[in-house]
Structure 1
Amino acid sequence: MYRSLAAALIVIALTCGSGREPAAQQSTYGDAMRWYEREAAKGSAKAQYFLGLLYERGGGPRTKDLAKAFQWFAKAAAQGYAGAQYKISRAYQFGLGTVSDPEKAVLWYRRAAWQGLPEAQHNLAYMLENAVSTERSPDEAVRWYREAAERGFGPSQFALGSVYMRGMGVERNLAEAWAWLRAAESRQFAGAGEARAALEKEMTPEEMSQARKMAEPRSPR
């Protein structure tokens, strides 16, 4: 019980804020690592994922090691752990701890996206929109942007607003564009407010009225 609690404290410290652990947690870091390593070796996907996080970020007696992080993420991803699937997608996309392979990035983003992970849905949509190692597919890109946007993911809300503003993969709709940009702005996504204000100059009073009604349920209360 003590070791599992210590491990949880270390992960919380590493995944929130600066990644520097309080002194009380530093003394348990070795126990936490040993607990994760033991559980990961038994095949626990969650332990493999968290062990990957510890190697990815470094700290305590462990230095940052992206290659080892990738190895543990890959083990968890193979078991269907969505967070790990997202991590190896980014690793393949940007060459983090492994050789860059955009095709594999698309493959794993898609698997994590199907599990409902908005970050994966957004990145997959971006790659589909911009033909990054895959055929350009505006329709599918819009679909995944929408999936993530409806989950409240600010970057996808901004992207979907831009999609409707440009008419990329959808019919141009300024009211829809304004509503999604307003949703992104309410989540403090950089540039959303400026884009929304600029868009208003093109809109009719009727479009503005419709946009405000559409935006209300999309913004956090």
Structure 2
Amino acid sequence: MRISFFLFFFILLQSLPSLGASSQADDAFHRRDYVHAFTLYEQAALDGEASAQFMLGVLYENGWGTDKNPEKALDWYMKAAEQGHPDSLYNLGVMHFYGNGIPKDRNQGIAYYEEALTVQSSKAAEALGRMHLYGENGKKDPQKASFYLWMATEWGNTQSLYLLAHMYLKGIGVKQDEYAGILMLIEAANKGVQKARDDIQRFERDNASTFQNYLKRKYNHTEPPYSWLAK
């Protein structure tokens, strides 16, 4: 027990420099001091920290704080992905699917998206949903789109909730259900999706009626829907 106790603190102390560098790197990144952020992320990335490896990939991919280098971005994303980092797997999917700085390989991109689902990447689920909804891989499949968009929504992706709202309003890939679609649109608006807010305000302008009055009149729904307006 005593040996385990000291071993724990030895490991903790060994990790502190990396953790400190990563935290300082985040601060520098948010201040847009990308050169300093790059140096600190590199230190933590070389120590094996997945989140720092991911951020180093972001800096290389965009040319922030260093020369733009998609191949190095790919390499760091892959290092983080090997540790199951969700956003790294998603970014690998994006780079391959769209050919961002590397040869386009949509099958490889989809494979990375699907691997990202195993670590609950809502971004990857939304990407697959959009792909099937808009036919980005050559064929539209609205039913598969709804499956992936529901998955992304359950993992907290508000953009997917907005897309689902319109699918229910129009009956795309799902049974048309205006009431469910409206409630999803309201929920998306309340969670900060600007397009949802714009849609609601456009409806009210075009129909000279509030969404609340429409819901009450047609569906006997009386809950105030506009929580974002009260903020």
Normalised to the residue count of structure 2, the TM-score between the two structures is 0.73
Say whether the 8 Å CA contact 1:164–1:172 is kept in structure 2.
yes
Say whether the 8 Å CA contact 2:25–2:40 is kept in structure 1.
no
Superposed counterparts of 1:67-106, under 5 Å: 67-106=71-110
- SS of aligned partner of 1:169: coil
What does residue 57 of structure 2 align with?
52
Question: Are 2:136 and 1:132 aligned?
Answer: yes
What does residue 170 of structure 1 align with?
174
Q: Deviations over 1:147-166 (max 9, x none)?
A: 22234422111100010011
Amino acid at match of 1:112: A
Amino acid at match of 2:25: I
Give the Cα–Cα distance (whole angstroms) in 2 for the partners of residues 52 and 175 of structure 1: 43
Question: Are 2:188 and 1:184 aligned?
Answer: yes
Q: CA 1:143–1:172 in 2, change beyond 3 Å: closer, same or farther?
A: same
What does residue 34 of structure 1 align with?
43
Q: CA 1:208–1:195 in 2, change beyond 3 Å: closer, same or farther?
A: farther
What does residue 7 of structure 1 align with?
22
Say whether the 8 Å CA contact 1:175–1:208 is kept in structure 2.
yes
Offset, 1:103: 2.2
Q: CA 1:180–1:52 in 2, change beyond 3 Å: closer, same or farther?
A: same
Offset, 1:124: 0.9
Superposed counterparts of 1:112-123, under 5 Å: 112-123=116-127
Q: CA 1:132–1:119 in 2, change beyond 3 Å: closer, same or farther?
A: same
Structure 1: tracts of 5 or more residues without a match: none
Give the Cα–Cα distance (whole angstroms) in 1 for the partners of residues 73 and 83 of structure 2: 16
Worse-superposed segment, 106-115 or 196-205: 196-205
Amino acid at match of 1:172: Q
What does residue 5 of structure 2 align with?
none
Offset, 1:206: 6.0
Question: Are 2:24 and 1:20 aligned?
Answer: no
Give the Cα–Cα distance (whole angstroms) in 2 for the partners of residues 112 and 29 of structure 1: 25
Tell me the percent identity: 22
Tell which has more relative contact order, 1 or 2 (C-alpha 8 A, sep 6+): 1
Q: CA 1:3–1:84 in 2, change beyond 3 Å: closer, same or farther?
A: closer
When Rg is computed on C-alpha atoms for both structures, the one with the higher figure is: 2
